[in-house]
């Protein structure tokens, strides 16, 4: 259902870009599409809240970044933290997927992945926002320059190039 809403937003943006004649409105339409896609990306990483046991909470008390540190990480005690090995598929785990070790404990990385949203789409969205910021700035500045030249924002009147 949220995906459908997201799709609806996308369609609204597309409709706006296709039908509206004002250049600024076209830009707005494109941006609406852009945000629809961003919303979609964010929703991909969504993780429903999970109830944790006390020990699990203890385990996760360190910051996520420290837990998810890269290849060469040593904590304060000098011990090497286990590597966060992410398999290629489905980064988000549900409780059924957890594998317990011989002590009946789940590994920290699994817990981490069970309780946090997928961070990758957020990084993607951040990048996408930066890019859309750049293209928005360029688009708006070209809109303004075009307005200076043609004296109108009506895209159907800006058609010197045809044929």
Partner 1 sequence: MKGMTVIVKTISSWVKVLIILFGIYIILFGHLTPGGGFAGGVILASSYVMLMLAFGREFVQKDLPLSLDSKLDCLGAVAFAMIAVLGYVFGKSFFDNFLSQFGRHLRLISSGTIPLSNIAIGLKVGASLFLVIFILSTFRRDSSDDKQE
Partner 2 sequence: MEKSILCIPVFLPLIIGFVMLLLPNRLSSLFRVLTLIISVITFVLGIIIFTSGGTNVTWSIVQLGEIKLELLLTATPLGNFMLLFAMGFGLLITLYSLKSRSLGDDRDNANIYYGATLLTIGGSAGILLSNHLLALLIFWEIVTVSLYLLISTGKDNSNFAATKSFAMIGASDAAFMLGVFLVWVCSNENIAERTLVISSISLPTDSVLPVIAFLLLLLAAITKAGAMPLHTWVPTSGEYAPASVMALLPAAIDKLLGIYLLLIIVKKIFIIETAATLNLLLAIIGAATIIIAVMIAMVQHNLKKLLSYHAVSQVGYMILGIATGTPIGIAGGIFHLVNNAIYKSCLFLCGGAVEQQTGTADLEELGGLGKKMPWTFATCLIAALSISGIPPFNGFVSKWMIYQGVIDMASGQAGTIAGLWPVWLVAAMFGSALTLASFVKLIHSMFLSRLPSGLKNTREVSALQIIPMAILAALCVIFGIFYSQVPLQKLINPLLPSLVGENAEYKLSLWNAGLATVLIAAGIGIGVLIWLIGRLSDKIRIVPTWTCGEIQENDKMIVPGTHFYKTVSSMDGLKQLYTGQSKGYFDIYDQGGRLAMALTGFLRWLHSGMLPMYLTWLTLGLLIVLFVVCGIL
Partner 3 sequence: MIGLLPAFVVIPLIAAFILPLFGKKGKDAATILANAVILLLLVLAVVAVYSGKQGIYEIGDWSIPLGINLVLDGLSALMLLAIATVATAAMLFSARYMEQYTAKAKYLSLFLLMVAGMNGVVLSGDIFNLFVFLEIASLASYALVGFGCGHEELEASFKYMVLGSVGSIFILFSVGLVYGHTGTLNMAYISQTIQNNGGLNAGLTFALALFIVGFGLKAALVPFHAWLPDAHPSAPAPISAMLSGILIKTLGVYALSRVVFNIFGVSQATGWLIIVLGLISMIIGAFLAIGQEDLKRLMAYSSISQIGYVVLGIGLGAALIQKGEDKLASLAILGGLFHLVNHAVYKSLLFLNSGSIEMATGTRRLEQMGGLAAKLPYTRATCAVASASIVGIPPFSGFWSKLILIIAAILAGYYWIAAIIVFVSLCTLIMYLKVHRYVFLGQLPEKLQNARENKGTMLFAMAFLACLCILMGLLVIIPGLKEAVLDPAVKVLTGGFEYSRFVIGPGG
Contact residues for partner 1, defined by CB under 8 A: 63, 65-66, 70, 72-73, 75-76, 126, 130, 133, 137, 140-141, 144-145, 147-148, 151
Task: State phi, psi for 106 to the nearest 5 degrees.
Answer: -90, 150
**Which does residue 76 bind out of partner 3, partner 1, partner 2, none, counting CB within 5 to 8 angstroms by kind?**
partner 1
Identity of the residue, 10 or 56, whose beta carbon is nearer to partner 3 in the bound complex: 10
Helices (H), the chain: 2-19, 23-44, 54-59, 64-67, 108-115, 119-150
Maximum Cα–Cα distance for the chain, whole Å?
A: 75
For residue 30, state whether it binds partner 3 (rule: CB under 8 A): yes
In angstroms, the Cα distances linking 58 to 23, 76, 81, 96 are: 55, 17, 16, 21
Residues near partner 3 (CB under 8 A) are: 10, 14, 17, 23, 26-27, 30, 33-34, 37, 40-41, 44, 70-71, 86, 88-91, 120-121, 124, 127-128, 131, 134-135, 138-139, 142-143, 145-146, 149-150, 155, 158-161, 163
């Amino acid at each position: 259902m949220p995906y459908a809403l997201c799709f609806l937003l996308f369609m609204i943006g597309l409709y706006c870009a296709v039908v509206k004649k004002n250049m600024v409105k076209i830009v707005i339409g494109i941006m609406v599409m852009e945000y629809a896609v961003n919303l979609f990306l964010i929703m991909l990483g969504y993780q429903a809240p999970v109830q944790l046991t006390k020990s699990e909470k203890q385990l996760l008390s360190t910051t996520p970044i420290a837990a998810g540190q890269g290849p060469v990480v040593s904590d304060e005690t000098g011990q090497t933290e286990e590597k966060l090995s992410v398999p290629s598929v489905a980064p988000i785990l549900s409780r059924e997927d957890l594998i317990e070790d011989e002590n009946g404990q789940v590994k920290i990385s699994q817990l981490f992945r069970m309780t946090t949203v997928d961070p990758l789409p957020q990084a993607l969205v951040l990048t996408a926002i930066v890019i859309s910021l750049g293209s928005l700035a360029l688009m708006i500045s070209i809109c303004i320059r075009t307005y200076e030249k043609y004296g109108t924002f009506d895209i159907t009147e800006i058609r010197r190039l045809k044929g």
